[in-house]
Amino acid sequence: MARSVLVLNSGSSSLKYAVIEPDSETMVVDGIVERIGEGEVRDHAEALQTAFGQMAEAGRGPDALDLVAVGHRVVHGGPDLYEPTLVDDALVARIDELSPLAPLHNPPALLGIKEARKALPDLPHVAVFDTAFFHDLPAAAATYAIDRDIAEQWHIRRYGFHGTSHQYVSEQAAAFLGVPLDSVRQIVLHLGNGASASAIVGGRPVDTSMGLTPMEGLVMGTRSGDIDPGLMFYLWRTAKMTVEDIEEMLNRRSGVRGLGGEVDFRMLHQRIESGDASAQLAYDVYIHRLRKYIGAYLALLGGADVITFTAGVGENDAAVRRDALSGMAPLGIELDEVLNTGPDKKARRISADRSPTTVLVVPTDEELAIARACTNLIEH
Ligand code: ADP
């Protein structure tokens, strides 16, 4: 039996799990337990047992595997946590201290860690941080132009998220092109429910669209992305909304859902085709923001060698890819319509042969990247 890693991504109402054999890059079993706290599954302890039950039904319960580690996705590593790190009580306490920076994400991750350590006490548990890849973002990109003392006291900087995906996809893109990572200027567009863009030179990020929290940047499924911060004071002072109301609105009732009533792009396209003006506006705002970031990163990089689309929307939605890059031939970016709309699901080129910038679609695999991080750590 080949060694495998259990990868857990524990959110407030869902637990995603995957068992990966890192040596053969095989996904053995995966799944999701949803609606934690809302029905049969009362809490994260029960969610984990439900996941184990599902794995056992597939003949892949923990006892039937050669598990060597459990990898935990942790959204926010704050200023100091950025290497994959063995979980002990001290690390749990440090992640807990960061909860104010990521109140929606770190507490449920900690619940997942706590329960998994109880259920699988003999295995090493490893925390892999979504901020890690952006830890050494250049100061000019990481710094908000606000009062220095306040920023330092409260650890305010642009941290960036989806780092595991941006790193993995940028490495895959260079490998696909058959060029050394350190020679390429890349833009990676991770377009899932959450969405972020990054500019990468020589395998190191020079900018990314998410900031202190995963709310900054692109328009997302339910999040606003960039807004004028004045909007929040206005809502607080004049509309008398509470901080919690504003946070909930910007996180859950904004973005594509807030404008168009749909979070899923397949449904959004259907509504657009049936003549729904709000769905069309949601799509137009989404694309407009995406194009602004692509333009900004082209300027930062002085042109890109490769632009890569990834995650649910980026991998599947040919219309988004076409509209994100249309009219950019003068900037050296030209898609091949046939390649862009083709049925292939693997890593693939979608740019025209004559396009100086190569455009790729590369499926992301955060679970594999986390599993690899775990085996690297326990081997050294
Ligand atoms: P998450 O951020 O939850 O990991 P994913 O990367 O899985 O999200 O992306 C999920 C989103 O991908 C869905 O909400 C949907 O909008 C989009 N998506 C998935 N499949 C398709 C498809 N075939 N066509 C267009 N959009 C798709």
The span from the CA of 11 to the CA of 71, in Å, is 14
Give the orientation angle of helix 277-301 with respect to helix 318-325, to 10 degrees.
Answer: 50
The answer to whether 264 is annotated as binding is yes
Best CA proximity match to 136, nearest among 193, 59, 60, 83: 83
Which residues make Cβ contacts (< 8 Å) with residue 230, sequence separation at least 6?
Answer: none
| Minimum-distance ligand 1 atom for the alpha carbon of 311 | 6
Q: What percent of the chain has pLDDT over 70?
A: 100
- Name residue, tokens 């900031």: 211
Q: What is the pLDDT of residues 197-235, one digit of tens each?
A: 999 999 999 999 999 999 999 999 999 999 999 999 999
- Based on C-alpha coordinates, what's the Rg of the chain? 21
Tokens of 258: 């807030």
| Minimum-distance ligand 1 atom for the alpha carbon of 265 | 16
Q: What percent of the chain has pLDDT over 90?
A: 96
Quote the pTM value. Answer: 0.96
pLDDT of residue 176: 97
Q: What is the pLDDT of residues 339-372, one digit of tens each?
A: 999 999 999 999 999 999 999 999 999 999 999 9
Q: Are 131 and 166 in contact (CB under 8 A)?
A: no
Is pLDDT at 41 greater than 90 in this prediction? yes
| Minimum-distance ligand 1 atom for the alpha carbon of 221 | 14
Which residues on adjacent β-strands are paired with residue 125?
Answer: 70
244 CB-contact burial (10 Å; exposed 0-12 / middle 13-18 / buried 19+)? exposed
Question: In which element (H, E) is residue 235 found?
Answer: helix 230-237
Give me the mean pLDDT over the 24-44 stretch: 93
Task: Compute the distance from residue 345 Cα to the ligand 1 centre, in Å.
Answer: 14
Is pLDDT at 246 greater than 90 in this prediction? yes
Domains of the chain: 2-128 (3.30.420.40), 178-359 (3.30.420.40)
Question: In which element (H, E) is residue 104 found?
Answer: none
| Coil/strand/helix, residue 105 | coil
Ligand 1, atom 12: closest residue by C-alpha: 312
pLDDT band at 380 (very low <50, low <70, confident <90, very high): confident
pLDDT of residue 248: 95
Ligand 1, atom 23: closest residue by C-alpha: 316
Tokens of 211: 């900031």
Q: Are 314 and 190 in contact (CB under 8 A)?
A: yes
Is pLDDT at 129 greater than 90 in this prediction? yes
The answer to whether 266 is annotated as binding is yes
pLDDT of residue 22: 92
pLDDT band at 1 (very low <50, low <70, confident <90, very high): confident
Q: Are 113 and 87 in contact (CB under 8 A)?
A: yes
pLDDT band at 180 (very low <50, low <70, confident <90, very high): very high
Task: Compute the distance from residue 362 Cα to the ligand 1 centre, in Å.
Answer: 14
Q: What is the pLDDT of residues 282-341, one digit of tens each?
A: 999 999 999 999 999 999 999 999 999 999 999 999 999 999 999 999 999 999 999 999
The span from the CA of 209 to the CA of 142, in Å, is 10
pLDDT of residue 39: 83
The answer to whether 313 is annotated as binding is yes
Phi first, then psi: give them for residue 6, nearest 5 degrees.
Answer: -90, 120
The span from the CA of 257 to the CA of 196, in Å, is 17
Task: Compute the distance from residue 313 Cα to the ligand 1 centre, in Å.
Answer: 5
What DSSP character marks residue 270?
H
Is pLDDT at 122 greater than 90 in this prediction? yes
| Coil/strand/helix, residue 274 | coil
The answer to whether 237 is annotated as binding is no
Q: Are 362 and 344 in contact (CB under 8 A)?
A: no
pLDDT of residue 46: 95
Which residues make Cβ contacts (< 8 Å) with residue 36, sequence separation at least 6?
Answer: 12, 13, 14, 15, 42, 43, 44, 46, 47
Q: What is the pLDDT of residues 43-101, one digit of tens each?
A: 999 999 999 999 999 999 988 999 999 999 999 999 999 999 999 999 999 999 999 99
Is pLDDT at 242 greater than 90 in this prediction? yes
**Higher-scoring residue by pLDDT: 103, 169:** 169
The span from the CA of 42 to the CA of 356, in Å, is 54
Residues known to be catalytic: 130
The span from the CA of 348 to the CA of 252, in Å, is 33
How far is C-alpha 90 from the geometric centre of its chain's CA atoms? 26
Ligand 1, atom 11: closest residue by C-alpha: 312
Tokens of 177: 């092109």
The span from the CA of 75 to the CA of 161, in Å, is 7
Q: Are 10 and 50 in contact (CB under 8 A)?
A: no
Q: What is the pLDDT of residues 250-266, one digit of tens each?
A: 999 999 999 999 999 99
pLDDT of residue 104: 87
